[in-house]
Amino acid sequence: MPLNLLTWLLSFLPLVVVMVLMLGFRASGKRASAAGWVTAVLVSLLAFGGTWKLLAYAQVKALWMSLDVLYIVWGALLLYNLVHEAGAIQAISTWLPSVSGDKAVQVLLVSWLMVSFLQGMGGFGVPMAVCAPILVGMGYSPVLAVVMTAIGHAWAVNFGSMATAFQALTAVTGLSGAVLAPKAAILLGLAILPSGMIVAVLGSGWKGLWHTFPLLCVVSLVMGTVQYFLAVNGLWNLAATTASLAGLLVMLLLLRISHSASSAQSTSRPDLLVLISPYLILMLVGFAVILIAPLNAFLSRTAFSLNLPELSTQLGWVTAAEQTRPLHPFSHPGSILVFTVLVSWLIYARKGYLSEGAGRRIAGNVVKSAGDASLGVIAMVGVAAVMTTSGMTNLLARGLSQSISTTLYPAMAPFIGVLGAFLTGSNNNSNVLFGVLQMETARLMGLDVPLILAAQTAGGSLGSVMSPAKVIVGCSTVGLNQKEGLVMRRLVLLDLIPVVIVAAAALIWSVLLGAGG
Amino acid sequence: MNKRQRHLPTLSLRASLLLLILELSLPFGLYAALSAEKIILAKLLFGLITAGMLVILILPENPKG
């Protein structure tokens, strides 16, 4: 397919439709995604030489990719509704003021540190789905709650979720993690402070940012340093999780030293530990499955995947035959959530926290929230699959890379990462889509390849949180079903701030390396 | 809901769930049909998936859920 303005605009059309419907017309995520899917199919058939068979296989691929996400979504919603039914969300909301009476500190604890830590357990919007209701319990509007949690953990996506996105980048480019990790850790480290600052401003205004700024600087430095050292020493799987845990501990320590805690009244329930036990179990089981190799190997023995044949459009764009990513039903983050729910249910039932009819209420709420979210995810991932197999995604990225000079390309690289993540809802898929393209472009332009790839994955990490697929999941637990457009409107511009910072840093770094001249 | 949409039935929670089940199960049938080279069946299943997407797009959502 030749690259010209018309073909580039056509390949951009499905995304424009989704964005205009969600941002301009406040359409629900599932509706905008369905419109994007229909547009992508029509553009593929009419302009990109797509055949019905190619589109059919694209939908099979999309379903498989969606299952990976939906398993987590349903598990997370089950866990959330269980803890909500038991009163844990309310208990956390009343306990937080006893940690610090400062609203800015409370909001940072939940929507910057806790949410980033949870990203290590499982991504796909789950941290937002878990933390946003806590903020609503603290008195924030549901829209603001989702926006704050989204921005707060954007920096942790790449090295979170067992660094699956980072590992995907190493797999598709063939470059070792040791080569890619240092620059990726530095670029993402630069996004930590701005993320926290945005959360502080949104949560308690400029005044809140002003008096928490020293705390923000210290905690950001700790998290950035821990993430860097773990990543460069081969422990990228745990880099974001450990960094956010270190940040959480340092913040609590600093609060204790500054006597903030003692000035606040203790309002926590004596049974708080039991109430929040599902989160502790989630961490314990999550780390056990990840770190205990024999257990992981045992649970990963059962795996399913599909074989897809080579696909080609009538215009000659070829997608090689492939085996889909295996789905491990027993070691998948979704299964960790389900196991946590089962154990937590037993604990709650034994303690008498679940009143009569709790099971029916929980099931009803899960179905209500997850139904809409799931349809949106399937349609949006379908858009990505149709665009990729038709060659539209490749054309889109080629157009972006060729329209910009060699000197400025490092600043464009994170935005290509953002584009891939926005489209697919995943940093991982963004790296799979654009990793090789970015590497080849960097080589042709004589730019530093690890830097460009670091910018790609940093952009994917920061951009994934504003993707419709993730926002739909984040909105599902705060009663914003069908109102995701409201969140997107506020989120997109704010989330671009750390992306711009990363882009500027990549540009300056590239100039300093002398590769752009 | 605009004037034109008022003539259409709304997409209730039950209908959304039915659609979800279809969108989750039909691609598996589609994969089996494509693998077995049962082209007519595969075309029919892909047509149903497309119809499902069009239903999500066209039918107004039920504000009561």
Q: What is the ipTM of this complex?
A: 0.91
B16 touches chain A (CB under 8 A): yes
Residues of chain B positioned with their CB less than 8 A from the CB of A53? 34, 42
Residues of chain A positioned with their CB less than 8 A from the CB of B12? none
Q: CA distances (Å), B59 to each of A14, A42, A153, A370, A400, in order? A: 20, 20, 35, 19, 36
What local confidence, expressed as pLDDT, does residue B63 receive? 61
A377 touches chain B (CB under 8 A): no
Burial environment of residue B2 by CB neighbours within 10 A (0 to 12, 13 to 18, 19 or more): exposed
B57 and A38 within 8 Å at the Cβ level: the answer is yes
What local confidence, expressed as pLDDT, does residue A516 receive? 44
Degrees, nearest 5: CA angle A8-A324-B26: 85
Residues of chain B with pLDDT under 50: none
Alpha-carbon gap: A402 to the closest alpha carbon of chain B (Å):
34
Report the first-to-last Cα separation within chain B, whole angstroms. 14
Give which of A67, A125, A54 is closest to A325, Cα–Cα: A67
What local confidence, expressed as pLDDT, does residue A517 receive? 42
B27 touches chain A (CB under 8 A): yes
Q: CA distances (Å), A396 to each of A15, A142, A441, in order? A: 11, 34, 14
B23 and A378 within 8 Å at the Cβ level: the answer is yes
Three-state DSSP string of A20-60: HHHHHCCCCHHHHHHHHHHHHHHHHHHHCCCCHHHHHHHHH
Residues of chain B positioned with their CB less than 8 A from the CB of A482? 61
What local confidence, expressed as pLDDT, does residue B6 receive? 59
Q: Compute how many other C-beta atoms are within 10 angstroms of the C-beta atom of residue A461.
A: 36
Burial environment of residue A356 by CB neighbours within 10 A (0 to 12, 13 to 18, 19 or more): exposed
B23 touches chain A (CB under 8 A): yes
User: Is the C-alpha dihedral spanning A408, A413, A414, A420 positive or negative?
Assistant: positive
Alpha-carbon gap: A131 to the closest alpha carbon of chain B (Å):
24
What local confidence, expressed as pLDDT, does residue A269 receive? 64
Contact in structure between A309 and A56 (CB atoms under 8 Å)? no
Contact in structure between A278 and A284 (CB atoms under 8 Å)? no
Residues of chain B positioned with their CB less than 8 A from the CB of A378? 20, 23-24
Residues of chain A with pLDDT under 50: 261, 515-517
* Cβ within 8 Å of residue A181, ≥6 positions away: A166, A231, A232, A234, A236
A positions 481-510 inside 8 Å of B (CB): 481-482
Parallel, antiparallel or unpaired: strands A311-312 and A318-319: antiparallel
Task: Name which of B43, B55, B57, B59 to mutate to probe chain A: the one with the most chain A Cβ atoms within 10 A of its Cβ.
Answer: B57
Phi, psi of A311 (to 5 degrees): -120, 140
What local confidence, expressed as pLDDT, does residue A478 receive? 82
- DSSP symbol at A328: -
Return the half-sphere exposure (C-beta side, CA atoms, 13 A cut-off) of residue A106.
Answer: 25
Degrees, nearest 5: CA angle A118-A268-A340: 35
Give which of A434, A379, A353 is closest to A69, Cα–Cα: A379
Instruction: Tell me which residue in A31, A55, A367 faces B56 most closely, judged by beta carbons.
Output: A31
Cα A443 off chain centre by: 29
Spatial separation of the C-alpha atoms in residues B65 and B63, rounded to whole Å: 5
Q: Which two tokens stand for residue A30?
A: 């599932």
State the amino acid at position A432 in one-letter form: V
Spell out the domain ranges in chain A.
5-58+71-159+171-513
- Burial of A41-54, coded b for 16+ CB within 10 Å and e otherwise, reads bebbbebbbbeeeb
Give which of A360, A362, A365, A361 is closest to A478, Cα–Cα: A365
Spatial separation of the C-alpha atoms in residues A115 and A131, rounded to whole Å: 6
A38 and B54 within 8 Å at the Cβ level: the answer is yes
What local confidence, expressed as pLDDT, does residue B64 receive? 58
* Cβ within 8 Å of residue A498, ≥6 positions away: A151, A154, A155, A191, A194, A195, A198, A462
